[in-house]
Amino acid sequence: MQPVKSNQLMINIVLFGPPGAGKGTQSENIITQFGLKHISTGDLFRKHLGEGTTLGKEARSFMDNGKLVPDEVVIGMVEDFLNANTDAKGFIFDGFPRTVAQAEALDGLLEKHNTAIGCMLMLDVPQDELKKRLLERGKTSGRADDQNEEKINVRIQEYTNKTLPVATFYEGQGKTCKIKGVGTIESIFSDISEAIESHIA
């Protein structure tokens, strides 16, 4: 299937990668190279909860009752970010959307802004390599879940289970790009840049 190319000038990318895939490093490279704004739902939650906004209070009411925050609240936070950055060249969505429902809602939101997702980048790294990297990182990161092989396996499996339906959704639009996440940082980024440019050309 040919990639769907957006007619819009904005570059909007969804970036996924399992724990240990080097997503943080490559995310920074993409932001620098293409001048994009970074959207992480974790950052948005911290902002809205910290500032006590209406969306933050709404999210808090669900969280305090041990419930998942509904998609419409999350999308509301994303929309707030888009509205605050109307001059952006585009956005990189880091680990979001996590479900097909969120992906559909994001498509609708971006359509309102006369733009669309250009491509979904998936950093693909063999499981043995991920484990090796995380255990190595655990020596210095201080994170307990980087030091326990059983917990690492659970995290990788959880990522795979959650990401697959979203990847399939974007694949149906011709927008999913698997990037081999093994090699030098520079060579991986070169492949990423090529994939992005092929979807926005």
Q: Which residue out of 5, 131, 137, 162 is catalytically annotated?
A: 137
Residues in the chain, overall count? 201
137 carries an active-site annotation: yes
Which has the closest alpha carbon to 166: 110, 115, 104, 116?
Answer: 104
155 carries an active-site annotation: yes
How far is it, in rounded angstroms, from Cα 136 to Cα 52?
A: 38
60 carries an active-site annotation: no
Q: Which residue out of 98, 131, 151, 162 is catalytically annotated?
A: 98
Q: Which residue out of 46, 57, 89, 143 is catalytically annotated?
A: 143
Cis ω before 97 (30° cut-off from 0): yes
Helix (H) or strand (E) holding 14: strand 11-16
**Residue 12, beta-bridge partner list:** 91
Question: Looking at the annotation, which residues are catalytic?
Answer: 23, 98, 137, 143, 155
